[in-house]
Amino acid sequence: MKYIYRLVYIVMPAAIAMAFLYAPPAEGLGESSRLLYFHVPLAWVSVLAFSISGVLSVLFLFTGNGERRELVHAAHNSAAIGLLFTVLATFSGSVWSKLSWGAYWNWDPRQTSIIVLMLVYIAYFSLESALRENPSRQRIVSAYLVFAMVTVPFFVFVVPRIFPSLHPDPVINADRQVHLESAMKISLMTAIAAFTLLYGYILNLANRVSAINEQKKGDLR
């Protein structure tokens, strides 16, 4: 099962090739529309990584009597990857925003959401480092992440009402504004699959490193 992530070796080059060679440029946006195949998957993984961190934290707190430390390590690793992808998604998004809407930053709902996501990640890592000395650090950090996750539905409700949108909406199940051609759709799906696999691959690797570190700590004793 854990070897499934090695598919990334094949899918990622395929996704890149499709983005540049197979997919046609979108009308009106020109060649810059190829950013779609990188920006959307990056944003997707940011959200996915956050959800997985949250779910792992819930599992850690409510199952196994707080003994399953590997869950916290996995949540931490997932959040670290998530933070990286969030930064990349924000960066690629603002470049694209400059090209198509004329400004790097517009306070569009999705831009706002990703900034909030970044804030949560930053808060999580700040808290973790501020608790370094505390023996119950793992439970406190997990509790914070769960708490932050509970506020997500409120964001989903509020953000679109406060900030008017520029994004083609919704991007993937296009039914109104942007009709993605089937070649574009296939490329996008491949890219999303490739980035999800990449996330799984890195997470798996990071978890193994954490396990080795944990083992080393045990051996020193």
Q: Where does this chain bind other proteins (CB under 8 A)?
A: 61, 116, 119-120, 122-123, 126-127, 130-136, 139-140, 142-144, 146-148, 150-151, 154-155, 157-159, 162, 220-221
Residues ≥6 apart with Cβ < 8 Å to 39: 89, 92, 93, 96
Identity of the residue, 78 or 187, whose beta carbon is nearer to other proteins in the bound complex: 78
Residue 155 C-beta: closest distance to other proteins, Å = 6
**Closer Cβ to other proteins, 160 or 168, answer by number:** 160
Give the nearer residue to other proteins in terms of CB position, either 103 or 130.
130
- Per-residue CA distances from 55 to 63, 74, 77, 142, 188 (Å): 12, 11, 13, 10, 27
Q: Which amino acid is at 88?
A: L
Q: In angstroms, what is the minimal distance from the CB of 2 to other proteins?
A: 29
Are 90 and 113 within 8 A, CB to CB? no
Report the SS3 class of residue 95. Answer: helix
Q: Residue 211: exposed, middle, or buried by beta-carbon count in 10 A (0-12, 13-18, 19+)?
A: middle
Considering the complex, what minimum distance in angstroms separates the CB of residue 173 from other proteins?
26
| Nearer to other proteins (CB atom), residue 10 or residue 130 | 130
In the bound state with other proteins, the residue whose beta carbon lies nearer, of 139 and 167, is 139
Between 142 and 187, CB nearer to other proteins: 142
Q: Work out how close the CB of 196 gets to other proteins at its nearest, in angstroms, rounded to a whole number.
A: 25
3-state secondary structure of 149: helix
108: left (phi over 0), alpha (psi -120 to 50) or beta: beta
- Say how far apart CA 9 and CA 27 lie, in whole Å: 31
What are residue 66's phi and psi, to 5 degrees? 75, 15
191 near 14, Cβ under 8 Å?
Answer: no
Least gap, CB of 159 to other proteins (angstroms): 8
